[in-house]
Amino acid sequence: MRVAQIGSGTPELAILAGIHGDEPCGVRAVERLLEQRPAVERPVKLVVANERALEQQVRYVDEDLNRAFPGNSDAETHEGQLAAKLTDELEDCLTFSMHSTQSHNEPFAIVKDVTDTARELCPQLPVAAMVETGNFSEGRLFTEIDTIEVECGLQGSETAAENAYSLTRAFLTATGALPGDTVSRDLPVYRLVDCIWKDQADTYEVFVDNFTRVEQGDSFAAADGEMQVADEPFYPVLMSANGYRDVFGYTAEKLDVLSSPTAAD
CB of 150 to Zn ion, least distance (A): 10
Alpha carbon 84 to chain centroid, angstroms: 20
Choose between 110 and 258: whose C-beta lies nearer to Zn ion.
110
CB of 110 to Zn ion, least distance (A): 10
Amino acid letter, residue 77: T
Choose between 163 and 182: whose C-beta lies nearer to Zn ion.
163
Q: Applying CB under 5 A, which part among 3-11, 68-76, 97-105, 125-133 lies near Zn ion?
A: 97-105
- Report residue 94: phi and psi, to 5°: -70, 120
Q: Applying CB under 5 A, which part among 92-100, 125-133, 219-227, 250-258 lies near Zn ion?
A: 92-100
CB of 204 to Zn ion, least distance (A): 19
Choose between 99 and 140: whose C-beta lies nearer to Zn ion.
99
Amino acid letter, residue 238: L
- By CB under 5 A, the residues from 1 to 60 that bind Zn ion are 20, 23
Binding mask 150-189 for Zn ion (x = CB under 5 A): ----------------------------------------
Residue sitting closest to Zn ion (CB): 99
- How many residues of this chain interact with Zn ion, rule: CB under 5 A? 3
Binding mask 98-127 for Zn ion (x = CB under 5 A): -x----------------------------
Choose between 23 and 144: whose C-beta lies nearer to Zn ion.
23
Choose between 24 and 236: whose C-beta lies nearer to Zn ion.
24
CB of 232 to Zn ion, least distance (A): 29
Instruction: Supply the DSSP string of the chain, one letter for each residue.
Output: -EEEEESSS--SEEEEE-SSTT-THHHHHHHHHHHH----SS-EEEEE--HHHHHHTSS-SSS-GGGSTT--TT-SSHHHHHHHHHHHHHTTSEEEEEEEESS-SS-EEEESS--HHHHHHGGGSS-S-EEE-GGG-TT-GGGTS-EEEEEEEETT-HHHHHHHHHHHHHHHHHTTSSSS-PPP--EEEEEEEEEEE--S-S-EEE-S-TTSPBPTT-EEEEETTEEEE-SS-BEEES--SSSSSSEEEEEEEEEEEEPPPPP--
Choose between 56 and 203: whose C-beta lies nearer to Zn ion.
56
Footprint of Zn ion (CB under 5 A): 20, 23, 99
